[in-house]
Amino acid sequence: MADTIHNFHIPVMGTGHSIDTPIRLAHLGITSVISIIDDVLLERLRKFYTAEYNLPFDRIPHREEDGRAKRITAYLDMVHDIVEMKMERVKALPFFEKNEKSRYFELLPDTSSLKSKYHELLETKPGELRDKIASELSKLMRPGGIDVNIMVKVDRIDMDKHGNPLGEGFSDAKSALRGFAKSKLDSAMVFSAGINQSLYGYMTKYQDFYRNHEGEIKKKIILKVSDFRSAMIQGRYMAKKGLEISEFRIESGLNCGGHAFASPGHLLPILLQDFKDKRNELGTQFQPIIKRFYDKMGWDYPENLEHHPEITVQGGIGNHGEVQRLEKDFGMDRTGWASPFLLVPEATPIDTPTRMQLMNSTDDSLYLSGASPLGVPFNNLKNSGSEQWSMARYHKGKPGSPCPKGFLVSNTEFTEKPICTASTEYMTQKLAQIEAEISPGEEKEYAINKVLAKACLCEHLGSGVLISLGIAPVERSPQAICPGPNLSWFNRNYSLEEMVDQIYGRGKELLSSDRPHMFAKEIQLYVDHFRSLIHEAIDTPKSHPSLHKFYDNMTKGFEYCKSIAKSVAYPGENLPSLSEAIDKQGKRLEEIYENFKARITSDVPA
């Protein structure tokens, strides 16, 4: 990857919580990721920021031909221009003053060669040498990456003004990719939430995803992956099309924010070790295939190039001790920090009521919910503005959302055309069905609550930025947010310096020493998840083999974590909590599993 300024990045956070983070932080060298699922929200932000920076704004009408892609391109181009403008202003500032230029260098990791050169400048006496070093340093300054994210399974086919489908090229994901491909950005596309071969094939239409005559790739590819096997499958598929993966981004299945794609019991340390052991394959396996594609196309491929994708990790990291474990023991190139930046006002656009709720959050108020219409577990905040709005509508006899955007439509239980399970249209029919078919009692209450749990994420995940920037009033903008469970240990607003110092192990430790190790927390989350899976599937024999496999994988993970718990701790790393979790959660796992086996054995006919 081109960006090696910092040893961390800020991953995508919902549709709106990192939507303008590059405008806020890229001029300080910090890379972040924008969601480009919601082109309507991007257009509203473009109108706001063009006014803020005195840039031209021409509205792109909703039904303009290829309007979705055009709105995405226009927003990304605007972000690019603002970041470039801010970067040039910072470069032009003088050294030896307290300003954004000195801040740029002081935020850098202490291991940075750029920071070493900056310290050399500060220690150099006035004169020709100092002027030369200052000039060189200014030229070396560059902004952090403006990366973008697509959830590849969010791929509805768009309609024309008459309600007719526009065709495969105008699906949500392809239009978003086209919007990025046509933008000015020299950055990366992060693909998440599964595999979409049609979308990957669509990338071949754009030369920016391939190496140019200088051997550089303008539009890079980052794959968010759940395990090494997935990395190999997707990497090989793309290699056959000549596409190189710049980075494989590993995320904890449950100890993260947003949608939680749990593994079948594979704990993060096991996955990381697998990547460490086999990471050379990610270069040696794919590069010959890519070279053959270039030869077939008659393109030049750089001689003697050895491409080795970066491997990064994110999800539940809390301090520098854990960072050192990930980088030194598992060979991770960088780490991703998302949820903690929700409490850094300079970094993320969160409305004040929601930010106050986050400051006061606990383990109980940050929970894995059924709020997502995609049917994927979703990390949520209890009693959010979105939840209050949804319950108020239900009690008024109008459950669900009018579904103004429809990005997450997928259900055809009651309709021929897919609708969203968070919509009024779906909820009204589903609740009526439950009323007619299920007798009063716990089963009926459970069924109703499962329906009402769905939230209008398309709309509500973007409300926070609209409120915080004064674009929309709080009373008409229900706020949803998707923090990871780790956020309960952060309890106030933090400056950017405080959070970056926390990542790099500088300054005062922000978290209580009682906070469990990230691996310990993940163990607890996976045992909780195993219990939920058994509750959902106890009467479904076809699912039983997968539950046995889940248990076996967890057991292996526990054994591996024991060796980590016995190792020497890095400064600030709470390894005793890992031992405690292995013991306590190990007993829970055994009890849950034994009860499960006894139950299914007793159900088998004699």
pLDDT of 1: 38
CA dist 30 and 8 (Å) reads 8
* pLDDT at residue 2 in the model: 41
Confidence of residue 430 (pLDDT cuts 50, 70, 90): very high
Q: Predicted confidence band at 571 (pLDDT cuts at 50, 70, 90)?
A: very high
**Comparing 87 with 172, which gets the higher pLDDT?**
87
Q: How far is residue 135's CA from residue 444's CA, in Å, rounded to a whole number?
A: 71
Could you report the per-residue pLDDT of 458-470, keeping only the tens digit for each? 899 999 999 999 9
Residue 338: pLDDT over 90: yes
Q: Does residue 405 surpass a pLDDT of 90?
A: no
- pLDDT at residue 156 greater than cutoff 80: no
Please give the single-letter amino acid code of residue 333. D
What string of H, E and C letters represents the secondary structure of 541-603?
HHHHHHHHHHHHHHHHHHHHHHHHHCCCCCCCCCHHHHHHHHHHHHHHHHHHHHHHHHHHHHC
Query: Given this model, what pLDDT does residue 587 score?
Result: 96
The residues, any chain, with a CB within 8 Å of residue 161's CB and separated by 6 or more, are 63
Report for 259-263, 417-421, 574-578: range of highest mean pLDDT:
574-578
Percent of the chain topping pLDDT 70? 96
Out of 147-151, 438-442, 454-458, 595-599, which region has the weakest mean confidence (pLDDT)? 595-599
Q: What's the length of the chain?
A: 606
pLDDT tier for residue 165 given thresholds of 50, 70 and 90:
low
Residue 102 has pLDDT above 90, yes or no: yes
Residue 374 or residue 85, greater confidence: 85
The closest alpha carbon to 22, from 35, 31, 13, belongs to 31
C-alpha distances (whole Å) from 566 to each of 275, 521, 544, 579 are 22, 17, 34, 8
Question: For residue 540, is pLDDT > 80?
Answer: no
Token reading at 443: 């089963």
- The Cα–Cα gap between 13 and 481 comes to 9
Kindly report the average pLDDT of the chain as a whole number. 92
pLDDT tier for residue 161 given thresholds of 50, 70 and 90: low
Q: Which of 512, 510, 464, 517 is nearest to 357 (CA)?
A: 464
pLDDT tens-digit map of 487-510:
999 999 999 999 999 999 998 999
Q: Residue range 38-60: average pLDDT?
A: 97
* C-beta contacts of 542-550 below 8 A and 24+ residues apart: 544/600, 546/264, 547/596, 549/264, 549/265, 550/264, 550/265
pLDDT on residue 159: 64
pTM, two decimals, is 0.94
Q: Which helix (H) or strand (E) holds 66?
A: none
Q: Residue 604: is its pLDDT beyond 60? A: no
What is the model's pLDDT at position 163? 65
Mean pLDDT for 425-438 is: 94
Report phi then psi at 313, rounded to 5: -140, 150
- Strand pairing class (247-251; 220-225): parallel
Q: At residue 606, does pLDDT exceed 50?
A: no
Q: So what's the pLDDT on residue 599? A: 84
**CA-to-CA distance for 557 and 38, rounded, in angstroms?**
38
From CA 286, how far away is CA 241, in angstroms rounded? Answer: 11
Task: Write down the pLDDT at residue 603.
Answer: 58
HSE of 11, CA atoms in CB hemisphere, 13 A = 32
Among 316, 220, 319, 320, smallest CA distance to 272 is for 316
The C-alpha R_g of the chain, in whole angstroms, comes to 25
Q: How far apart are CA 154 and CA 176, in angstroms?
A: 10
What's the confidence (pLDDT) of residue 167?
Answer: 67
Quick: pLDDT tens for 79-92: 999 999 999 999 99
DSSP code at position 16: T
The structural domains of the chain, with segments of one domain joined by +, span 366-480
What mean pLDDT do residues 36-46 have? Answer: 96
**Amino acid type, 255:** N
Which range has the top average pLDDT, 49-53, 213-217, 363-367? 49-53
Q: Reply yes or no on whether the pLDDT at 164 is more than 90.
A: no
- For tokens 């003697």, the residue is 304
